[in-house]
Amino acid sequence: MKSDIIFHVIGNTSPFSLMGESSGYLISVHNSTYLLECGAPVFPYLGFQGIERLKGIFVTHSHEDHRRWFTDLALFMYYDSKLGKKIRLISSELILEEYHKNSKGALERSLSEDSRKIIDIPYETMVDQTLIGPRSKFFISLEMEEVGRFCYRVKDRKGNVIGPEKAKIFINPRANRPRLLFKDDETGEWVEPESYYSFDSPIFYEENPNHFIDKEAGLIVQAVKAPVWHGVPTIAFRFITDKNTLFFSADTVYRPSLWKELCETYRPQRFDKISREEFEQSSVLLGDINDFIERTWSRQRYEAAVKAYEGAVVIHDVARRGSVVHTDYEDIGEAPIKDLIFTHSPDNLTAWRPILRSGKILVLRNGQVYERVKNRLYPFDADVYVKHFSCNLVGYRSRKGRYKVIKRDGLLGIAKLDSGDEELLRVELFEDMDGQYFPLLEDTSKEYKVRPDGRVEEVSFSDEGSMGRVVENLRGRIKEESEELAVSN
């Protein structure tokens, strides 16, 4: 259907996974196709023609596991593609800058056509930078003061220099990277504006939200910053058609209690390394900006973050424990989000919500989310989902089930009934084979194999050889049969 949002998983693992797939997805609406992140091996998944059909790449941030294939895509479109077009990169102002900085070494120098000279190639020759989200009203500008001498200044969009009573630049000698400190108009507190304000703030951001619009596909994409808390500049995306909304969280720390603390906690400035007089008079300071940030988030950002997940199918990153910059399962496993699906997940995780894996295809249709398997749509109706190194499993509630769901140290797990752990739910387990469900095989001499025609065989091994039999996909029947059995009993 024209308004469907189709979400293909190219790669989906935690940043340091043994599987090494990284993050990469494909978003399709009507006849328009976009990459979402480009950290996964897109060439073998899409092929050259598939890459040429892309209308752009949405990127959330510049960590390598999300951008690893970007320069290859840009180089391919410039040198090998017959289309002779640039790669379209879609993100916020800061993230576009980060991609530019991180890609310069690979893109901005080459040999001349006769191979005799090293030539400079402008980044814009290969990359079409498309802004999504509002521009900031104030920014740090590196300018030439005189020949051979550069300086940093804070400016507004009209070119006016902003004085130290309103804005300051901090450079930490340990990182040598300028960061902006800004005096909030409403509270008079000093804040780091990129963290403090959401995109909806008229104090720091321009009014134009710069939504991305694909009229042909009937698709609107919005950049969202409020709930995204990751360290490096990062945004989430909301994909909207007339009947569906998909919210992609990016990498973030989902913890509403922390968000509230960030907006309510006041931190007095520290003048043990820089005097108050020096601070007040200086536009550029060497030191740690965290000594002078008085509040991390605004109340407006906190309220926007709490509402960000409403009315959408949410695809959210998840980690096990102590991840710092990602969302721990304990914080989101039972979050009040109606349609929640986990991605960017560790190699071993058990969850109440579906867990994505490479090759899966989601379809959002009429506000509902399904998995597409062999051209049929199935709802996610299992009671528990297991992603393991060797396989994917799903569990359905069953009074006769041979397994139970347990919890240890805030994480779910699966155990045999005779284990000493408290039972949260008794289940029967099924193996997820490319979206088809089959009874879990406990006999180690048997395993499932997907045939070239897509059918699944249960293969038995012995000293004499092996023998297989085609087995039937039970997905779509398990829930119905268990509910009928419960009623009859």
Between CA 460 and CA 467 the distance in angstroms is 5
State the average pLDDT over residues 286-295.
97
Helix (H, G, I), strand (E, B) or coil at 354: coil
Between CA 441 and CA 458 the distance in angstroms is 9
DSSP string, 246-283: EEE--S----HHHHHHHHH-------SSS-HHHHHH-S
Please identify which residue in the block is written with the tokens 């403090």: 196
Between CA 208 and CA 294 the distance in angstroms is 28
Answer left, alpha or beta for residue 377, where phi above 0 means left and psi between -120 and 50 means alpha.
Answer: beta
The first and second tokens of residue 291, run together, are 């000594």
* pLDDT tens, position by position, 350-396: 999 999 999 999 999 999 999 999 999 999 999 999 998 888 999 99
pLDDT at 344 over 70: yes
Task: Identify the structural domains of the chain with CATH numbers, from first to last.
Answer: 5-133+209-249+312-377 (3.60.15.10), 134-208+250-308 (no CATH), 381-488 (no CATH)
Which one-letter DSSP state was computed for residue 133? S
pLDDT at 20 over 80: no
Say what the pTM is: 0.95
Between CA 131 and CA 134 the distance in angstroms is 8
Contacts of 84 (CB under 8 A, 6+ apart): none
The first and second tokens of residue 409, run together, are 């140290």
How large is the angle between the packed helices 299-307 and 256-264, nearest 10 degrees? 170
CA neighbor of 131 nearest in space, from 76, 229, 208: 208
pLDDT for the residue 487: 42
Residue 426 identity: R
CA neighbor of 124 nearest in space, from 140, 100, 143: 100
pLDDT for the residue 402: 95
Q: In this structure, what are the phi and psi dihedrals at residue 64, rounded to the nearest 5 degrees?
A: -60, -35
pLDDT at 485 over 60: no
The first and second tokens of residue 433, run together, are 């084979």
Between CA 488 and CA 399 the distance in angstroms is 13
pLDDT at 489 over 50: no
Between CA 151 and CA 301 the distance in angstroms is 32
pLDDT for the residue 483: 58
pLDDT at 200 over 70: yes
CA neighbor of 278 nearest in space, from 267, 292, 298: 292
* pLDDT tens, position by position, 130-168: 999 999 999 999 988 877 788 999 999 999 999 999 999
Please identify which residue in the block is written with the tokens 């056509």: 113
Between CA 93 and CA 136 the distance in angstroms is 8
* pLDDT tens, position by position, 205-239: 999 999 999 999 999 999 999 999 999 999 999 99
Look over the chain and give the mean of its residue pLDDT values, rounded to a whole number: 94
pLDDT at 454 over 90: no
pLDDT at 330 over 90: yes
pLDDT for the residue 35: 98
